[in-house]
Amino acid sequence: MKKIYKYNIVGLDCANCARNLEIKLNEVKNLKNVVVNFATSKLSFESDKNIDLKELNKIVKKVDKNITIVENNTLTNQKKYNIITLLIGVLLGIVGCLFNIPEVLEQILLVISYFLLLYKTGIKAVNLLVKNRTIDENILIIISCLGAYLLGQNLEGIMVITLYIIGKILEEKAINNTRNSINELLILKPDFANKKEQGKIVEIPVEDVKKNDIIVIKKGEKVPVDGIVVKGSTLLDASMLTGEQEHVSVKENDNVLSGEINVENLIEVKVVNEFKESTISRILSLVEDATDKKSHVETLVTKISKIYTPTVLFLAVLITLLLPNLLSISFNQSFYRGLTFLVISCPCAIAISVPLSYFTGIGVSSKNGILIKGSNYLDNLVHMNKLIFDKTGTLTTGTFEVSNIKIFDSKYSKEKIIEMLIKGEINSSHPIANSILKLSNEKVDNSDIKNFKEINGKGISYELGNDIVKIGNSKMCECKNETTLHLNVNGIHVASIDINDGIKSDGFDSIKKLNDYNIETYMFTGDKKTLHWK
């Protein structure tokens, strides 16, 4: 039976290196379906045999001695390019090129400048050439810069390598930002679970929870795995999963999902799915594995890049050798043009920028709550003609606000109703209660209320003087009005309160732009048809 292995990679510093490592590992006999994910610095593969981590690292070191495979990424990737070294190299080069100094000193400064700027690129180029017999953009840069030095065009040579390194620094920054965006989602993962064993509660790693275990979820804790409530009732905050700010009421025999937060009472849950099969684990896997699914463009670039660089190098040699005969120019001039051809034909824009564009797009989308299953799905967006939005937190702000108060009993003023609402809701942690509290900036004394009760999924009740006050939904307040919230005093329907989560300020503009592109827009919501855009 094939087993799936997943590890972290330390020292993976470029998309080309990831591609080469993936190709070489797929050639290893006992490794199948190897995927090297440059976006998340992860390695995954299948194997019929038990693969020892030490044995795996021996294989990897033969490909690239700077790469290490680890179970947990406790090591940190070193900076690929040191900005201080770059500045010193450029400064020495400028002094050697532009200032009137003795020729010996000039050559010393230029040699030091070229060494500081080129040594890392040179090491990569030699390693790839010797170990993998691969020619990439590093070789082209080295040849171009050394050729510029031989022709006496030192300023141009220094400019070429400087721009190349700056491009690498910007690429590294983009990659790190995207990785951080993806890693931020890992906070969704619970660290532990409270397992109930023989009447005792034992804290265990969430990965060790088994199906049919009974776990205890206390107030303020995340639900670690999917399950069914077997004891107790509470309110759950599911906003991290669904975006809905309104808490979900659960009782015995109700389902709970991993990633939800218990905001009220202790409950006991029977485990239905182990962590690797739970909702939150599947969401995290979706994000981490998104860049494993290559687009057609990326696949094509991978194939082309293998032959592109050698072809460019061959053409540059032809240009250098043939131009003197064809155009009656000097060898130095043709050599200069051959070097120019190498620089402008550098495959970075193709072999690196294309995968990086998809990778960055997926990472930025993840940071903004948009989960994309892979690069191939990004390509399909160009064919999109219909788009379905979730409502809460997408088209709306996700924060509840009181939009209107309808009074049905003239004995009560709006100020009195607001006071009664705040007196009760000040004791509640429900998101709707927070919207009620925003109705007044003044501090309200609720020490005169008695017998306060909060009924899950319905509302609250309390005594105020000789009055029995209920604030809640239509079932609790015994009225047929479908408004969000109602106020009932001594069995009489006094007021209805409209509460919504508000349309985002740029919602209309976004929908209009999509419609301008002939994209039809739809919305999924459990609300009434009061929020409607055409």
Same domain, yes or no: 29 and 114: no
Pairing verdict, β 32-37 and 267-271 = unpaired
Same domain, yes or no: 179 and 303: yes
Q: What type of residue is 412?
A: Y
Same domain, yes or no: 231 and 166: no
Q: What is the structure's pLDDT at 247?
A: 78
Q: In which domain, by residue range, is 232 found?
A: 210-273
Please report where in the chains the tokens 């106020």 appear, as a residue.
487
Same domain, yes or no: 109 and 152: yes
- HSE of 120, CA atoms in CB hemisphere, 13 A: 18
Q: What is the structure's pLDDT at 195?
A: 93
E-state strands within 321-414 = 386-390, 401-407
State the DSSP code for 268.
Answer: E
| 520 bridge partner residues | 386
Q: Looking at residue 483, which CATH number applies to its domain? A: 3.40.1110.10
Distance from C-alpha of 40 to C-alpha of 135, rounded to nearest angstrom? 26
Q: Which residues contact residue 69 at a Cβ distance below 8 angstroms, ignoring those fewer than 6 apart? A: 7, 8, 9, 10, 43, 53, 56, 57, 60
Listed residues 222, 247, 273: the one ending a domain? 273
Among residues 6, 123, 3, 130, the alpha carbon closest in space to that of 56 is found at 6
Same domain, yes or no: 346 and 482: no
Same domain, yes or no: 167 and 300: yes
Other CB atoms within a 10 A radius of the CB of residue 354 amount to 19
Q: What is the structure's pLDDT at 1?
A: 61
Among residues 116, 120, 114, the alpha carbon closest in space to that of 145 is found at 114
With respect to residue 448, please indicate whether it lies within any of the assigned structural domains. yes
State the DSSP code for 398.
Answer: S
Distance from C-alpha of 94 to C-alpha of 507, rounded to nearest angstrom? 52
Q: What is the structure's pLDDT at 267?
A: 94
| 262 bridge partner residues | 236
With respect to residue 248, please indicate whether it lies within any of the assigned structural domains. yes
Q: What's the total number of domains in the chain?
A: 4
Same domain, yes or no: 445 and 489: yes
- By CB atoms closer than 10 A (0-12, 13-18, 19+), residue 27 is exposed
Q: Which residues contact residue 340 at a Cβ distance below 8 angstroms, ignoring those fewer than 6 apart? A: none
Q: Looking at residue 59, which CATH number applies to its domain? A: 3.30.70.100
Contact 189, 240 (CB under 8 A): no
Q: Which residues contact residue 357 at a Cβ distance below 8 angstroms, ignoring those fewer than 6 apart? A: none
With respect to residue 335, please indicate whether it lies within any of the assigned structural domains. yes
Q: What are phi and psi of 256, to 5 degrees?
A: -125, 150
With respect to residue 514, please indicate whether it lies within any of the assigned structural domains. no
Same domain, yes or no: 168 and 298: yes
pLDDT in tens, the chain (534 residues): 677 788 888 877 666 677 778 888 888 888 888 888 776 778 888 888 888 888 889 888 887 777 889 886 544 444 445 788 889 999 999 999 988 899 999 999 999 999 999 988 888 788 777 766 777 777 888 888 888 888 888 888 898 888 888 877 776 776 676 666 666 666 667 778 999 988 889 999 888 899 999 999 998 899 999 999 999 999 898 877 776 667 788 999 999 999 889 988 899 999 999 988 888 788 777 666 655 556 566 566 666 766 777 888 899 899 999 988 888 889 989 998 988 888 777 666 555 566 667 777 777 776 676 777 667 777 788 888 999 887 777 787 767 788 889 999 889 999 999 999 998 888 876 777 878 888 888 888 888 889 998 887 788 899 998 899 999 888 888 877 766 789 999 989 999 988 877 777 788 888 999 999 899 998 877 655 444 433
Same domain, yes or no: 149 and 103: yes
With respect to residue 381, please indicate whether it lies within any of the assigned structural domains. no
Q: Which residues contact residue 202 at a Cβ distance below 8 angstroms, ignoring those fewer than 6 apart? A: 194, 195, 196
Q: What is the structure's pLDDT at 531?
A: 40
Q: Residue 94 is inside which H or E element, if any?
A: helix 83-98
Listed residues 359, 378, 413: the one ending a domain? 359
Contact 346, 352 (CB under 8 A): no
Q: What is the structure's pLDDT at 110?
A: 93
CA 126, 132, 136, 141: dihedral to nearest 10 degrees? 0
With respect to residue 319, please indicate whether it lies within any of the assigned structural domains. yes
What residues act catalytically? 390
* 237 CA to centre of own chain: 22
Q: What type of residue is 499?
A: I
Residue burial 395-413, b: 16+ Cβ < 10 Å; e: rest? bbbbebebeebeeeeeebe
Among residues 348, 261, 345, 355, the alpha carbon closest in space to that of 311 is found at 345
Same domain, yes or no: 215 and 162: no
With respect to residue 374, please indicate whether it lies within any of the assigned structural domains. no
Same domain, yes or no: 446 and 487: yes
Q: Looking at residue 248, which CATH number applies to its domain? A: 2.70.150.10
With respect to residue 175, please indicate whether it lies within any of the assigned structural domains. yes
Tokens linked to 506 = 């740029």
Structure pTM?
A: 0.55
Q: What is the structure's pLDDT at 231?
A: 93
Other CB atoms within a 10 A radius of the CB of residue 160 amount to 22
Same domain, yes or no: 87 and 177: yes
